[in-house]
Amino acid sequence: MPEEGLKNLGSEHHGKKASFKWPDFTVTNALIVVLVLLLVLAGLYILKPDLFKSIGGRGKQPAKSDQKASTSEGKGSGYSAVFLANNQVYFGKLSDANSQYPKLAEVYYLRIERPLQPPPATESAQPDVQLVKLGNELHGPLDEIKFNREQILYIEDLRDDSRIVAAIREFKSRK
C-alpha cells in the first residue's frame, strides 16, 4: 500500500513542469541582494574603471595641466617628458595636457645604440645614447606628436638644470 501512495505522488507531477519559486521577500534577503550587487559593482570599478567614465566615474587620472613646469625651487624649464605604455619616452613642450590627445612640440627622443659585438671580458659595454630631434626620420614627421591619453603612463616636468634640457639647448644653439 505505501508503494501505491508513492506512485500516485509521482504521477501527479509527471506532466507538469517544475516552476521556480522566488524566496520570500524579507529584509535579510533584500540586504543580501543589495550587498551582492555592491560587491559586483565595486569589483568592476576596480578591474575596469573605464566602464565608469561615461557616468561620471573618475576613470584614469588626467595628466598634469598646461601650467609651466615648476619644482619646489621654482626652476621649471618648460620641457616635459612623456612616458608611454610601450616604453618609449619623448621630450618637448607639452600643450593640451588635459585633452584626450595632448600635444608635444619641439620633440626629442633618446636613441640607444648597442655594439654589435660583445666587448672583451676586461671592458664593459656602454651603450651609445643620443638625443635625436624628431623630423629627420624616413617617414618625414612634423615636429609635433599628439598622444592618445590612454597610452600615457605619466608625465614629468623637467627642471631647468636637467641633462636632457641642457642637451636640447645645445642642439638648438648649433642650428
- Shared domain check, 104 and 47: no
Q: Which CATH number fits the domain that encloses residue 137?
A: 2.30.30.100
Judgement on whether residues 30 and 93 belong to the same structural domain of the protein: no
Radius of gyration of the chain (CA): 32
Determine the distance from the C-alpha atom of residue 105 to the mean position of all C-alpha atoms in its chain, rounded to a whole number.
22
Q: Is the pTM of this model over 0.95?
A: no
Please state the φ and ψ torsions of residue 52, each to the nearest 5 degrees. -100, 0
150 and 107 within one domain: yes
Domain with 165, as residue range(s), is 76-173
Task: Please tell me whether residues 90 and 164 are part of one structural domain.
Answer: yes
What is the end-to-end Cα distance of the chain in Å, rounded?
110
Look at residue 16 and tell me if it is in a domain: no
Residue, of 97 and 51, whose pLDDT is higher: 97
Residue whose C-alpha cell is 626629442: 108
Quote the cell numbers at residue 126: 656602454
pLDDT of 175 over the 80 cut: no
Q: Does a structural domain hold residue 154? A: yes
Helix (H) or strand (E) holding 101: none
pLDDT in tens, 41-86: 888 878 877 776 656 544 445 444 444 433 344 567 899 999 999 9
Per the domain annotation, does 67 fall within a domain?
no
pLDDT digits (tens, 9 = 90+) for 111-170: 888 777 776 766 666 677 788 888 878 888 888 999 999 999 999 999 999 999 999 999
Q: Which three cell numbers stand for residue 3?
A: 508503494
Give yes or no: residues 99 and 147 share one domain.
yes
The number of distinct structural domains making up the chain is 2
Contacts of 65 (CB under 8 A, 6+ apart): 97, 98
Residue 34 inside a domain? The answer is yes
Nearest-angstrom CA–CA distance, 48 and 59: 9
